[in-house]
Chain A
């Protein structure tokens, strides 16, 4: 697409959208929000970039391979918190053992788990968009 207006506005918007995604991610304990929403909002920023500047440019900015690794990493981070609590003597996903004070342990656990969800959801949504968008451009591989 070659609309100057669209391109300029997109450039202006992408950074605030990503910052908002981080706000939603880490403010989820206090207000509406959390990993699922933050991941989707972050993905929306990349998808916007892909729509306006082309899927090739988006893939150059955030390559396929990294996203595949990140999607797996997000799920592993969630599962890993569970394994860590087991190694520390608790049950699976019993966050209380992560710190001396069980309430602080809950805080750490929830932040880590939400981070895992956010990373996984963002990568999955971007990759699904890449898969659909690349299907229309068979040379772009």
Chain B
């Protein structure tokens, strides 16, 4: 049991953070808050990937003489590009929020539904 805790606690914390972000996305009615929740979720996924790439006693994957054990560079590459793409897509989401504010004069989801008589 102790071994499992030491071997897996990183994943559990990541899952907790993921679910916190997920909760903000589905429970909050404010659109900016939802995007903040998505960002929390996104960052926790990044931590999950980087955790999987870590090798015990390894070092950063920059080749140097005398070092034999490196961490896995592949997740680093995937996440590096994902971070930049993530901020670009967040910008699109925020731009949509700005347009919604201009069209409905509110960024609360329930007030938008009231105006549209939807839901």
**Chain A residues engaging chain B, CB cutoff 8 angstroms:** 30-32, 34, 36, 40, 121, 124-125, 128, 131-132, 135
Contacts and interface: CB of A to CB of B under 8 A. Distances in A.
Contact of A135 (B80, B88, B91, B98): B98
* 8 tightest Cβ-Cβ pairs between the two chains A and B: A128-B91, A36-B84, A135-B98, A121-B84, A36-B80, A31-B62, A124-B88, A36-B81
Given A36-B80, A125-B87, 4 more contacts: A31-B62, A36-B83, A132-B95, A132-B98
Interface residues of B, number: 12
Interface of B: 60, 62, 80-81, 83-84, 87-88, 91, 94-95, 98
Contacts of A36: 80-81, 83-84
B71 to A, nearest CB: 13
Contacts of A124: 88
A26 B93 CA distance: 32
